[in-house]
């Protein structure tokens, strides 16, 4: 072709019609919508509309049909890009041009272009639909998730558990949250469960929970302990908080905690806790140690791989750290959900307490003074 070309996507149509454009000048007959859409650059355009003659269309000249008479018939090929194909075909035949040899109906090329365009639009609409659908689905589960629990369709990593095991475990967690009063978020529980499931199986020790309330968190931890093959020891008075005069006023998160920690608050009897775990958890891995922390923890001598503290008071936090941290194995983890209480933060920040009562330098405490859940990994 001379000074003209056809987009390669039309090759299949041209081959099907046995049209060879090699070394031929290409002319488009018609300057309407079809010519605008076709990906064809002709040598020039031809149109029966006299006012258009001599004007430019898509950077090519529009000529009168009479211009075709000056062309050598074996060196030219005309594509009719108009809805008036029959009339134009008759006109070209009268001028001595033969269908298939000298001219061709561009409607097939036009349909190919429309097919691609509408297919692209269809794919875009499908993508928009799924984006909108997934966003709506995501928002729905954000609205109804229980106490910031994770979505069941996007379960977070928990040790080396497979996708379906994680989904199954999260379903059980949500059921426990629904059936048993749980003053924690699922995110807090999952953080400790992940720590349990990441403990090397050859490690010696056990899992400890200090403060079980009604047994909601204990039920969840017992499920993880069963999967990982660990024993779970639960320390609690089973009579609520001890008598104290700690002046708690406000959490670092901004809400008031005044009056939260009176004597007897957060009480769950041993029988009630056991019943809840038997219904929803794994009672077989649980060992219950009843009494005030100062009396029971001082006698505990098993190695600890991971411990979870939900004890509320600064005095109880001191007791737990004093007796549990020294028997925590190297690489062992202590996680506390009391990290937003200023008096508890003071305990964790007290260098003198760590050196004189715990017997070591203060370790690095992840999230201290910044969030509710804090974490210590023993080095």
CATH code of the domain in which 69 resides: 3.40.50.20
Do 280 and 361 sit in the same domain of this protein?
Answer: yes
In a domain, residue 153? The reply is: yes
Residues 201 and 334 in one domain: yes
Asked which of 112, 130, 157 is the last residue of a domain, the reply is 112
Averaged over 333-337, what is the pLDDT?
Answer: 97
Tell me: do 86 and 173 sit in the same domain. Answer: no
For Cα atoms 154, 160, 164, give the angle at the middle one, nearest 5 degrees: 45
Angle between helices 163-179 and 270-280 (to 10 degrees): 140
The pLDDT, as a whole number, for residue 137 is 62
Same domain, 262 and 365: yes
The least confident of 65-79, 147-161, 175-189 is: 147-161
Q: What is the mean pLDDT of residues 70-75?
A: 88
The reply to whether 106 and 149 lie within a common domain is no
Domain that holds residue 154: 145-377
Tell me how far apart the alpha carbons of residues 290 and 281 are, in angstroms, rounded to a whole number: 19
203 domain residue, yes or no: yes
Helices 342-349, 314-324: inter-axial angle, 10-degree rounding = 30
Higher pLDDT, 100 or 50: 50
Q: What is the pLDDT of residue 2?
A: 42
Is residue 118 in some structural domain? Answer: no
Report the pLDDT averaged over residues 36-51.
Answer: 87
C-alpha dist (Å) from residue 125 to 118, 130, 132, 134: 10, 9, 10, 14
Long-range contacts of 87-93 (CB under 8 A, 24+ apart): 88/29, 88/30, 88/48, 91/48, 91/65, 92/29, 92/68
186 & 275 share domain:
yes
107 and 149 share a domain? Answer: no
Q: Clarify whether residues 52 and 162 are in a common domain.
A: no
Least trusted range by pLDDT, from 31-45, 58-72, 136-150, 194-208:
136-150
At 150 the pLDDT is 44
Instruction: Taking residues 208-236, report their average pLDDT.
Output: 96
Determine the pLDDT at residue 211.
Answer: 95
Indicate whether 82 and 226 sit together in one domain: no
The domain that holds 152 is classified in CATH as 3.40.50.150
Least confident of 104-113, 207-216, 338-347: 104-113
Cα distance between residue 122 and residue 116, in whole Å = 10
Structure confidence at residue 44 (pLDDT): 92
What per-residue confidence (pLDDT) applies to 148?
Answer: 42
Domain annotation covers residue 252:
yes
Q: Judge whether 123 lies within some domain.
A: no
The answer to whether 377 and 333 have CB atoms below 8 angstroms apart is yes
**Do 167 and 94 share a domain, yes or no?**
no
pLDDT at 40: 81
Segment 5-23 shows an average pLDDT of 69
Residue 34 sits in the same domain as residue 171 = no
Residue at a domain's end among 112, 133, 168? 112
Residue after which a domain boundary falls, among 112, 129, 163: 112
pLDDT for 136-151, tens place per residue? 665 555 554 444 444 5
Whether 29 is covered by a domain: the verdict is yes
| 322 and 174, same domain (yes or no) | yes
Q: Would you say residue 295 lies in a domain?
A: yes
Does the pTM surpass 0.85? The reply is: no
Domain assignment present for residue 127? The answer is: no
pLDDT tens-place string over residues 45-67: 999 999 999 999 988 999 999 99
Q: Which of 44-53, 150-159, 162-171 has the lowest mean pLDDT?
A: 150-159
State how many domains the chain has: 2
CB 207 within 8 A of CB 172: no
Residue 147 pLDDT? 42
**Sheet with 76-80: strands ordered across:** 56-57, 60-63, 44-46, 25-29, 76-80, 103-105
């Amino acid at each position: 072709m001379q000074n003209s070309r056809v987009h390669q996507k039309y090759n299949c149509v041209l081959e099907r019609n046995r049209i060879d454009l090699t070394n031929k000048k290409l002319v488009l007959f018609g300057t309407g919508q079809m010519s605008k859409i076709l990906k064809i650059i002709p040598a020039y355009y031809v149109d029966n509309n006299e006012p258009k003659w001599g004007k430019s269309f898509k950077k090519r000249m529009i000529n009168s049909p009479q211009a075709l008479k000056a062309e050598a018939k074996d060196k030219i090929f005309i594509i009719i890009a108009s809805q008036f194909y029959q009339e134009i075909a008759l006109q070209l035949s009268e001028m001595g041009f033969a269908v298939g040899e000298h001219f061709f109906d561009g409607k097939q090329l036009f349909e190919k272009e429309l097919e691609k365009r509408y297919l692209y639009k269809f794919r875009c609409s499908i993508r928009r639909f799924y984006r909108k659908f997934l966003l709506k689905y995501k928002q729905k589960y954000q609205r109804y998730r229980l106490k910031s629990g994770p979505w069941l369709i996007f379960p977070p990593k928990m040790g080396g558990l497979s996708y379906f095991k994680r989904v199954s475990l999260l379903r059980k967690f949500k059921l426990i949250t629904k059936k048993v009063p749980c003053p924690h978020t699922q995110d807090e529980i999952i953080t400790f469960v992940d720590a349990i499931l990441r403990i090397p199986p050859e490690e010696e020790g056990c899992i400890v929970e200090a403060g079980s309330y009604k047994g909601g968190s204990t039920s969840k931890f017992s499920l993880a302990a069963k999967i990982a093959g660990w024993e779970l020891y639960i320390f609690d008075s089973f009579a609520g908080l001890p008598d104290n005069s700690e002046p708690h006023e406000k959490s670092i998160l901004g809400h008031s905690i005044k009056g939260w920690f009176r004597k007897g608050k957060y009480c769950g009897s041993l029988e009630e806790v056991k019943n809840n775990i038997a219904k929803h958890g794994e009672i077989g891995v649980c060992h219950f140690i009843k009494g005030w922390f100062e009396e029971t923890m001082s006698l505990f001598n098993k190695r600890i791989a991971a411990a979870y503290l939900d004890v509320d008071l600064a005095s109880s936090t001191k007791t737990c750290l004093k007796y549990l941290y020294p028997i925590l194995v190297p690489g062992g983890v202590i996680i506390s959900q009391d990290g937003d209480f200023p008096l508890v933060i003071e305990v964790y920040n007290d260098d003198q307490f760590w050196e004189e009562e715990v017997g070591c330098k203060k370790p690095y405490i992840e999230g201290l003074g910044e969030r509710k859940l804090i974490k210590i990994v023993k080095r």
